[in-house]
Structure 1
Amino acid sequence: MKKFLVLYFCFSLLFVSCEKDDVEPEKPDRTEYNYDVLGLGEIATGLWVTPPSGYQTSEEYKRIKECGLNFVNGFHYFENSHSKILKVLDYCEENDLKFFANKASVASGIVNYSKSPDVSLLNKFINEIEPYANHPAFAGELMIDEPGKNLFEAVSAFTKAFDEAYPDKMWHVNLFPTYATGGIQASSYNEYINNWLMTVPSKHISYDSYPLLSTGEIIDDYFYNLDIIRSKSRFRKIPFWTFIQTLSIAGTPGVPDKREPSEADIRWQVWSNLAFGAKGIQYFCYWSPGNGTEQFGEALIGLSGEKTVRYDYVKKINSDINAIGKILLNCHAEGVIQTSVKDYKMYERLNDFGEIRSITGDDNIMGCFENEDGEKKVLITTLTPDKDASVILHLSDKVSEVKVWNNGGSEKQLVSGNQIVFQIDAGEAVFVEF
């Protein structure tokens, strides 16, 4: 489970018993959608764990931008006063980055409100934003990380107050993954997500799931988690954001240890998240967090401020997804076709799509997309980050030519014998437009 980090990196959650409420949320009465909630014109790419106080300089934020990131999740342990928030906002403006302020008082206020609703807590929350509310780099407020269902009513009160006071800004909350069975405070993950959507006026969903096990395998529920979030966000016509594991994690209670990611591991996570329809990618972590209750490896930046090899891995994949991401940002994620010997659980399994009659070959997953003009597109990546895949798409007679993207470049490719074959290296992907 994400961001247990060290004890002082955690938000305190109030756990109470709750009754099952597994009702599907009502579909919003609207046809419009906005997957680009930050107004960036590209996939939102952000980070968790900012440079610590001794490294808060414009040069450090320039290095964030050079890594291909475009927004920053604040970290209240480092930006813990109005003056520090304003300083970082200046650094972000200088380097064309958006910033979510993050204050410990907001998370504690939500917890306190859940115990005893008090309008003064809402007023305090709103008033504390005023000193930096009009800063050009201020994207909005990162309110709380991984709330259980028992906090949803309180979160809703805070988000509604925020929307009323700052309608042109965005609030941000990150939710639990499926394997956080003790944290969700609900009888099932489906109930947890449904109740969130029914209770909180969400313009996006964000959650985290770290799949890279120290055994060399991936977690069994990784695709299920992606698919249920894809389905719920598609139903609502809102985007979802996810997190990418950039370091090893050991000692998380009740969770298997996670390995240090290779370049293929990181690339595969990004491609698989995009294949399921993610419109935002966040990296956990950017700056190495150090150790406490849990033990963490080094992230993109080491504890002493030096780049690790993973900085360059992330810089490259952020560059490689940019052109494809701009296309996907205007497409609906209709589902994912899984072709594999080992069957990973999915929420809503898709078997065919458009003019694709069948898929054969090695293990892979294929994300299926459609834009508002009805044009079909697919993003294909390997099922796991450790094996190459030869993938054959069997097509109808209507398809004679496709446009194929490999990272940032594209070319037209003729279809022969109603099929087209792709050789995909481990952790890589191809994007096909029909």
Structure 2
Amino acid sequence: MKTAKYFFIIFALAFTNIYASSAKPTILPAYKNPTPGEFPILGWYSIPDSASTRQRYNEMREAGFNISFSHFTDNAQISRAAKACRGTGIKIIAGSPQLEASTKESIDSLKQYGEIAGWFLRDEPVVSGFGYLSQFRDSVYAADTTRLVYLNLFPRMVEPKNLGTATYDDYLREFLKQIRLPFISYDMYPVHETGNGEAVLQPMLFTNLESAQRVSREFGVPFWAFCLSTAHTPYPVARAAHLEVEAFSALAYGAQGIQYFTYWQPVSKTWNFYHAPIDKFGKRTDVYYLIRNLNKEIQALAPVFLGAEVISVSHTGKHIPDDTHRLTSLPMPFLTIDSDGPGVLVSHLHNNGKQYLMIVNRDIQNAQKVTLSIGSKKVRQIMPNGTTTKLSTTTPVIEPGRYVLYVWK
């Protein structure tokens, strides 16, 4: 991964005939939550083999993760990780050069481990590589159809011509048509640091969420999104508002998995990774505790978001992000929503017979006061710990990157 590379990508694309059929494929096996009863929360560049102990996986679980993705160099490392995480509540995504070279033999030797949540194919492929990855996918499913098969895609800020398509949406469509995996995963890191050290949120966060939601709905599959938890140029040290606006915006758009890049600080000769949740010495940083708090909140809200249907997502403000929709109507009993800042994200969701309205502050620097007009006393507010309470105000102040959440039947 990763994708300060966004600015330096050099591809030698073999522009072959791109899959042109407009017919949507039947994607089987269908998506199945790899962490039943919990919201999937995955850590990239997770615990290295040298630290693969039960204690370390318990520590990861304490931070609220339930899926670990380490970069294994062989199947023996996968086996050691599966044994180490047993009983901790952590499952692993398994990938190695051996898995790719000898897929059936590798899976046959490893699928005994219930701690394996899925098999990894590739990170950030372009369309010219989809044909090979489709064959790799078929080889994996020929050996095991009970687990997730995982592949992560480029974000929308990469030029479509470098991806091999006319538009970013077409890139997502080609992935689903050719590789036929039952969910979309992509990485987008929207908080950039300016020359004067100020953290700025790029509106592309919402533009990419629009594409992911649009195409995932079109094909009837879910999508997973990312938070950036490890600093590297031009991305700053993660702060609460940065992580929260990424996570809560994704949830408002219907994401069914939240991923972090990274959990453990990667070793790299190319990228200046620093200040990860677990640093290069294996010590917790303040980011570890920010993530622990955020993940606890996400799990508390799992009854709202896990399996939710997004009815609509829109934005308020003088200027709204490209390719998003301006708020023009609200579900009853909400009549009006106004804010005193640059604008908010408004999401209407449905889950298990209940209606939800989520309002996210798009500003990562300043709180926004929101003024609501509600035509019913039956609306209740959902608190960060998942409990519901009577409305105490119709003029909530939403802290940077955070939200308010309402429920009614």
- Is 2:407 aligned against 1:430? no
Which residue pairs with 1:299 in the alignment? Answer: 276
Q: Structure 1 pair 350/73, CA: closer, same or farther in 2 (3 Å)? A: farther
Report the secondary structure of 1:282's partner residue: strand
After TM superposition, the structure 1 stretch with the greater mean CA deviation from structure 2, 295-304 or 149-158, is 149-158
Q: Distance in 1 between matches of 2:18 and 2:140?
A: 29
- The structural deviation recorded for 1:134 is 1.8
- Is 2:147 aligned against 1:169? yes
Which residue pairs with 1:275 in the alignment? Answer: 252
**What's the CA shift string for 1:184-214, capped at 9, x where partnerless?**
2222212101111222222111100001110
Contact 2:203 2:322 in 1 (8 A): yes
TM-score by length of 1: 0.84
Which residue pairs with 1:112 in the alignment? Answer: none
- The structural deviation recorded for 1:4 is 5.4
Q: Pairwise CA RMSD of aligned residues?
A: 2.7
Which residue pairs with 2:289 in the alignment? Answer: 312
- The structural deviation recorded for 1:98 is 1.1
Q: Distance in 2 between matches of 1:28 and 1:390?
A: 46
**What's the CA shift string for 1:304-350, capped at 9, x where partnerless?**
01100000000001111212123211311233121123321135666
- The structural deviation recorded for 1:303 is 0.2
Higher relative contact order (CA 8 A, sep 6+): 1
Instruction: Specify the code of the residue in structure 2 equivalent to 1:266.
Output: L
1:67-216 mapped onto 2 (5 Å cutoff): 67-76=63-72, 80-105=73-98, 124-181=102-159, 183-215=162-194, 216=199
Q: Identity over the aligned pairs, expressed in percent?
A: 22
Instruction: Specify the code of the residue in structure 1 equivalent to 2:281.
Output: S
1:349-368 mapped onto 2 (5 Å cutoff): 351-355=328-332, 356-362=334-340, 363-368=343-348
- Is 2:360 aligned against 1:381? yes
**What's the CA shift string for 1:64-96, capped at 9, x where partnerless?**
1110000111312xxx22222111001122312
- Is 2:2 aligned against 1:3? yes
- Is 2:381 aligned against 1:401? no
Q: Structure 1 pair 136/14, CA: closer, same or farther in 2 (3 Å)? A: farther
- The structural deviation recorded for 1:264 is 1.8
Which runs of 5 or more structure 1 residues have no equivalent in the other structure?
7-11, 110-120, 251-256
Contact 1:61 1:95 in 2 (8 A): yes
1:50-61 mapped onto 2 (5 Å cutoff): 50-61=46-57
Q: Structure 1 pair 4/262, CA: closer, same or farther in 2 (3 Å)? A: closer
Match of 1:38 among 31, 34, 53: 34
After TM superposition, the structure 1 stretch with the greater mean CA deviation from structure 2, 21-30 or 182-191, is 21-30
- The structural deviation recorded for 1:229 is 0.3
- The structural deviation recorded for 1:221 is 1.5
Contact 1:21 1:195 in 2 (8 A): yes
Which residue pairs with 1:26 in the alignment? Answer: 24
Q: Distance in 2 between matches of 1:310 and 1:242?
A: 19
Q: Structure 1 pair 350/192, CA: closer, same or farther in 2 (3 Å)? A: farther
